[in-house]
Amino acid sequence: MFINRGILQIENQLVKVTQFNYNTIFDTVEAYPSVGAADTLMLTIFNNTSTNQSIFFEHTNSAKEVNPKSFAKVAVWKMPGKRTVPFYSANKTQKYLGLSSAIIFNNSNEKAFFWNLREYDESINQQYFEGANLNFSNYIPDVFTINSKVHTIYKANQMAMVLGNVGDSIYIDILNSGLMFHSVHFHGYHVKIIESNKSNEMIGWDKDSFPIDPGELISVLLVPHQPGLYPVHDHNLKAVTIGGNYPGGMIAMLKIEP
Ligand SMILES: [Cu+2]
């Protein structure tokens, strides 16, 4: 896995970010390794930035330091009763810029999808890359992404598309990597909240909407009872716009065949 700097082109907005990628050259496909439930992952992280990076892993509650143009190795194993190991920069600014993801443990026969939610105030990203010390007191996010892509009026977010059939067991792991709450609303179905990396009183509940705290990863189980094409969206209506236009931004799709 590589820590890369690059630019997300979101409609006509350019958002400078730092991300975990599978390739040594920046691309918009973020790394969220999927590992067999019985396996241990030996993860090598190479830092392509000129900044020291400190990456925190929740299975050990500790951070790995990765110097510029250097690498670190981390062993990651499944925590009992947990599907996921979130990992992110220990530095708030670097985490905000995009260094936040998760390792997903699942059986190979399971259908599993990952949604990484973020919001950006791209003027803050610009200031960072111009060398300013960031101040989030004037934070006004206007770009809302899932897996570094947005829904637009012309095209659904292909990186946030859940494909399945009626009766499937579909796991969706939803990480809020942003600084604000995101409340998601499922159309067409209820999902069962099966776990969270934070204390969450809704475990075991069947719901169609729920908030996700900043830094929280909520895993849900969807067993579709009907076919259809349904959206899942942030209930903050500003988050379902892009460039001031609705619909856009933080919208995923469930495409369920009979
Ligand atoms: Cu809705």
Is the model's pTM score more than 0.95? yes
Q: 186 near 210, Cβ under 8 Å?
A: no
What tens digit of pLDDT does each residue of 163-185 get?
A: 999 999 999 999 999 999 999 99
Q: State in Å: Cα 189 to ligand 1 middle.
A: 11
6 to each of 16, 26, 29, 33, 54, how far by Cα in Å?
6, 6, 12, 20, 19
Q: Which pLDDT score is estimated for 132? A: 84
pLDDT at 12 over 90: no
Q: State in Å: Cα 137 to ligand 1 middle.
A: 30
Q: State in Å: Cα 8 to ligand 1 middle.
A: 27
Q: 160 near 175, Cβ under 8 Å?
A: no
Mean pLDDT of all residues in 185-212: 97
Q: Which pLDDT score is estimated for 131? A: 86
* Torsions phi, psi for 92 (to 5 deg): -55, -40
Q: Which pLDDT score is estimated for 143? A: 96
**Between these two residues, 95 and 109, which has the higher pLDDT value?**
95
Q: State in Å: Cα 117 to ligand 1 middle.
A: 17
Mean pLDDT of all residues in 124-142: 89
The whole-chain average pLDDT of the chain stands at 96
Q: State in Å: Cα 96 to ligand 1 middle.
A: 26
Give the burial string for 171-196 (b: 16+ CB within 10 Å, else e).
bbbbbbbbbbebebebebbebebbbb
Mean pLDDT of all residues in 7-33: 95
Listed residues: CB within 5 A of ion ligand 1: 185
Q: State in Å: Cα 235 to ligand 1 middle.
A: 6
CA distance 152 to 7: 19
Q: Which of 134-138, 156-160, 247-251 is least confident?
A: 134-138
pLDDT confidence of 107, banded at 50, 70, 90? Answer: confident
CA distance 114 to 30: 11
Q: State in Å: Cα 230 to ligand 1 middle.
A: 10
pLDDT at 234 over 90: yes
Q: Which pLDDT score is estimated for 60? A: 98
Q: Which pLDDT score is estimated for 134? A: 82
Q: State in Å: Cα 190 to ligand 1 middle.
A: 12
Q: State in Å: Cα 184 to ligand 1 middle.
A: 8
Q: Which pLDDT score is estimated for 182? A: 98
The domains located in the chain, with CATH, are: 2-107 (2.60.40.420), 136-257 (2.60.40.420)
Q: State in Å: Cα 152 to ligand 1 middle.
A: 16
Q: Is 96 helix (H, G, I), strand (E, B) or coil?
A: helix
Share of the chain above pLDDT 90, in %: 91
Mean pLDDT of all residues in 30-46: 96
pLDDT at 145 over 90: yes
Give the burial string for 78-112 (b: 16+ CB within 10 Å, else e).
beeebbbbbbbbebebbbbbbbbbbbbbbeeeeeb
